[in-house]
């Protein structure tokens, strides 16, 4: 029989995995059910959202430096401290006990004693814990807001300190989630009635139809609505790219870079499940999720293909969506792990790849056809600068106005691109443009 583990244990395992492999293993968190699963994810993302600050405090109370500490012990310590500082429902004594028991179980009684000593001292000083006191301003801000120094420097230079603080504070909040209704299986009215009946607090978006902002996904998950394909989790700003592509029933559409398929199923919805969508992705592991999503949502116009779109040739179609791989700096509140996985040099790699992908995508569009380029980044190099570069090479494409599709507050002054910035628009940060190939 498989041994059952607690949310805290699962989180320690996931944090250990992250430190070793520099990536998230969602299976370690999601093998739990119900509330435990939610709690494990909450710990994991929450601790990564506050990592530098937690480590700063740990360094003040431990004789062993954070870098030299046994990773498992360090991650249990982070959970105990996170519990005391940020988990409202856990009394301090319970947070300490849980961490001590976990340390004993995972590392023996000496480990439990040491855990107890460090956390008790932190608990005692709780109202007056030390504040980061580094002379180096970037390091001070980075530690206070738990963001990497390179990103702090970049955002302070670009936005100024005050705005950068607001952005990082937003990234450190518990995120909002949006549900998008699957129009192939239900409708907005029916779905909002379901939400009311299930006692889910929600707010309907006034930006796009069929989006509902909720504070927690737990009730929706327990109702089985995701498995039934009634709705999906998709930030409203992620819905902008399929919206501006405006795919029509009967058209032939490429969804390049499609996995895990959240935009593919929205395209099916917009096309009323008529026409054809080729969902293409290079990643064999991620491609299975497209099929799962499509089946769940009751769509049958999707052909899934594993391919490198830069290497392979495709015939021309009416509309192409290129949801490019990017740094993901627009989604750091939901994907706190990304802030520690990325480095500044990754940006050069992403922009090079984005140019190649745009080049490939442009050669799949019929005359008069449309190409949408989108990212979940807020970095200009991955966004408008890529499009400016593209247009300097491809004078047979032009930018289209977006004001008939999207609210004014997310559009650039000339109305030809959208960009959401998390703390300003209170959603994820997404960018996109609609390019038309001249006839
Ligand atoms: C931002 S994610 C796509 C998210 C997806 N559109 C959605 O909304 O669910 C980018 C995807 O690009 C894929 N990708 C990267 N390089 C590619 C290439 N050369 N050919 C095809 N897919 C590629 C990655 O495997 C990844 O799944």
β pairing state of 365-375 and 431-437: antiparallel
β pairing state of 177-181 and 211-214: antiparallel
Going from the Cα of 45 to the center of ligand 1, the distance in angstroms, rounded, reads: 23
Q: What confidence tier does 89 reach under pLDDT thresholds 50, 70, 90? A: confident
SS3 76: helix
Task: Respond yes or no on whether ipTM tops 0.90.
Answer: yes
Q: What angle do CA 253, 254, 259 make, to 5 degrees?
A: 130
The pLDDT tens digits for 185-218 are 999 999 999 999 999 999 999 999 999 999 888 8
What pLDDT, on a 0 to 100 scale, did the predictor assign at position 127? 85
Structural tokens at position 281: 């992705």
| 376 included as an active-site residue | yes
- Closest-CA residue, ligand 1 atom 1, reads 325
Atom of ligand 1 nearest to the CA of 326: 1
Going from the Cα of 260 to the center of ligand 1, the distance in angstroms, rounded, reads: 8
The pLDDT tens digits for 128-176 are 999 999 999 999 999 999 999 999 999 999 999 999 999 999 999 999 8
What are the residues facing 231 on neighbouring strands? 181
Ligand 1 pocket: which of 257, 296, 349, 429 to mutate (most atoms <8 Å of CB)? Answer: 257
Going from the Cα of 113 to the center of ligand 1, the distance in angstroms, rounded, reads: 47
Provide residues with CB under 6 Å of ligand 1: 257-263, 280-283, 286, 308-310, 323, 325
Going from the Cα of 116 to the center of ligand 1, the distance in angstroms, rounded, reads: 45
Say whether 323 counts as a known binding-site residue.
yes
What distance in Å separates the CA atoms of residue 113 and residue 111, rounded to the nearest whole number?
Answer: 5
Q: What confidence tier does 34 reach under pLDDT thresholds 50, 70, 90? A: confident
Question: How far, in whole angstroms, is CA 174 from its chain's centroid?
Answer: 13
What pLDDT, on a 0 to 100 scale, did the predictor assign at position 1? 44
CATH 1.10.940.10 positions along the chain are: 7-128
The pLDDT tens digits for 344-376 are 999 999 999 999 999 999 999 999 999 999 999
Residue that is written with structure tokens 């992620």 in the block = 238
Say whether 281 counts as a known binding-site residue.
yes
Question: Percent of the chain scored above 90 by pLDDT?
Answer: 92
404 Cβ contact partners less than 8 Å away, ≥ 6 residues apart: none
Size of the chain in residues = 439
CATH pick for 236-437 out of 3.40.50.150, 3.20.20.70, 2.40.30.170, 3.40.50.300: 3.40.50.150
What distance in Å separates the CA atoms of residue 202 and residue 196, rounded to the nearest whole number?
Answer: 8
Q: Are 380 and 346 contacting, i.e. CB atoms less than 8 angstroms apart? A: no
User: From the candidates 257, 326, 376, 427, which is the catalytic residue?
Assistant: 376
Q: Are 259 and 286 contacting, i.e. CB atoms less than 8 angstroms apart? A: yes
Atom of ligand 1 nearest to the CA of 310: 19
DSSP state, residue 61: H
Going from the Cα of 139 to the center of ligand 1, the distance in angstroms, rounded, reads: 34
- CATH superfamily, domain 7-128, is NusB-like (1.10.940.10)
Could you write out the three-class secondary structure of 346-391? HHHHHHHHHHHHHHHHHCCEEEEEEEEEEECCCCHHHCHHHHHHHH
**Secondary element (H or E) of residue 305:** strand 302-306
Q: What angle do CA 324, 182, 39 make, to 5 degrees?
A: 75
- Averaged pLDDT, 231-239: 98
Ligand 1 pocket: which of 259, 262, 263 to mutate (most atoms <8 Å of CB)? Answer: 259
- Closest-CA residue, ligand 1 atom 6, reads 258
What pLDDT, on a 0 to 100 scale, did the predictor assign at position 88? 83
What distance in Å separates the CA atoms of residue 424 and residue 368, rounded to the nearest whole number?
Answer: 35
Ligand 1 pocket: which of 180, 281, 360 to mutate (most atoms <8 Å of CB)? Answer: 281
What pLDDT, on a 0 to 100 scale, did the predictor assign at position 419? 98
CATH 3.40.50.150 positions along the chain are: 236-437
CATH pick for 177-233 out of 3.30.70.1170, 3.40.50.720, 3.90.550.10, 3.40.50.1370: 3.30.70.1170
Q: Are 334 and 341 contacting, i.e. CB atoms less than 8 angstroms apart? A: no
Q: Are 275 and 301 contacting, i.e. CB atoms less than 8 angstroms apart? A: yes
387 Cβ contact partners less than 8 Å away, ≥ 6 residues apart: 373, 399, 417, 433, 435
Residue 90 has pLDDT above 90, yes or no: no
Report pTM: 0.95
Q: Is 144 exposed, middle or buried (0-12, 13-18, 19+ CB in 10 A)?
A: middle
Q: Are 58 and 81 contacting, i.e. CB atoms less than 8 angstroms apart? A: yes
CATH 3.30.70.1170 positions along the chain are: 177-233
What are the residues facing 324 on neighbouring strands? none
């Amino acid at each position: 029989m498989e041994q059952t583990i607690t949310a805290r244990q699962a989180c320690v395992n996931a944090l250990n995995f992250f430190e070793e492999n520099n990536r998230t293993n969602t299976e370690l968190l999601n093998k739990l059910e119900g509330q435990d699963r939610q709690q494990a994810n909450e710990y994991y993302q929450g601790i990564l959202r506050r990592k530098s600050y937690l480590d700063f405090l740990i360094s003040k109370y431990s004789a062993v430096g954070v870098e030299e500490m046994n990773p498992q012990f360090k991650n249990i310590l982070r959970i105990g401290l996170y519990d005391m500082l940020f988990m409202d429902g856990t009394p301090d004594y319970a947070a300490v006990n849980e961490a001590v028991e976990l340390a004993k179980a995972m590392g023996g009684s000496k480990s439990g004693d040491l855990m107890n000593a460090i956390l008790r001292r932190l608990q005692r000083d709780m109202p007056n814990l030390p504040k980061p006191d580094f002379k180096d301003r970037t390091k001070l801000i980075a530690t206070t807001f738990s963001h990497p120094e390179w990103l702090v420097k970049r955002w302070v230079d670009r936005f100024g300190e005050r705005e950068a603080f607001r952005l990082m504070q937003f990234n450190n909040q518990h995120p909002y989630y949006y549900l998008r209704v699957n129009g192939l299986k239900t409708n907005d009215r029916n779905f909002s009635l379901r939400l009311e009946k299930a006692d889910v607090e929600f707010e309907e978006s006034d930006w796009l139809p069929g989006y509902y902002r909720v504070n927690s996904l737990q009730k929706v998950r327990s109702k089985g609505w995701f498995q039934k394909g009634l709705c999906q989790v998709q930030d409203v700003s992620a819905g902008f790219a399929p919206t501006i592509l405006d795919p029509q029933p009967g058209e032939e559409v490429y969804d390049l870079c499609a996995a895990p398929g959240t935009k593919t199923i929205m395209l099916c919805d917009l096309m009323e499940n008529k026409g054809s969508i080729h969902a293409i992705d290079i990643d064999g592991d991620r491609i299975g999720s497209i099929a799962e999503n499509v089946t769940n949502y009751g769509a049958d116009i999707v052909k899934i293909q594993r391919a490198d779109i830069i290497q392979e040739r495709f015939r021309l179609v009416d509309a192409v969506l290129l949801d490019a791989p990017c740094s993901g700096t627009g989604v750091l509140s939901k994907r706190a792990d990304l802030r520690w996985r990325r480095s500044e040099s990754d940006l050069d790699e992403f922009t090079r790849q984005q140019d190649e992908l745009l080049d490939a995508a442009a050669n799949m569009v019929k005359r008069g056809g449309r190409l949408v380029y989108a990212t979940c980044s807020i970095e200009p190099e991955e966004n408008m600068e890529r499009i400016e570069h593209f247009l300097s090479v491809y004078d047979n494409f032009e930018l289209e106005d977006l004001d008939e599709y999207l609210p004014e507050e997310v559009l650039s002054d000339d109305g030809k691109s959208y960009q959401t910035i998390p703390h300003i628009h209170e959603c994820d940060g997404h960018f996109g443009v609609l390019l038309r190939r001249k006839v």
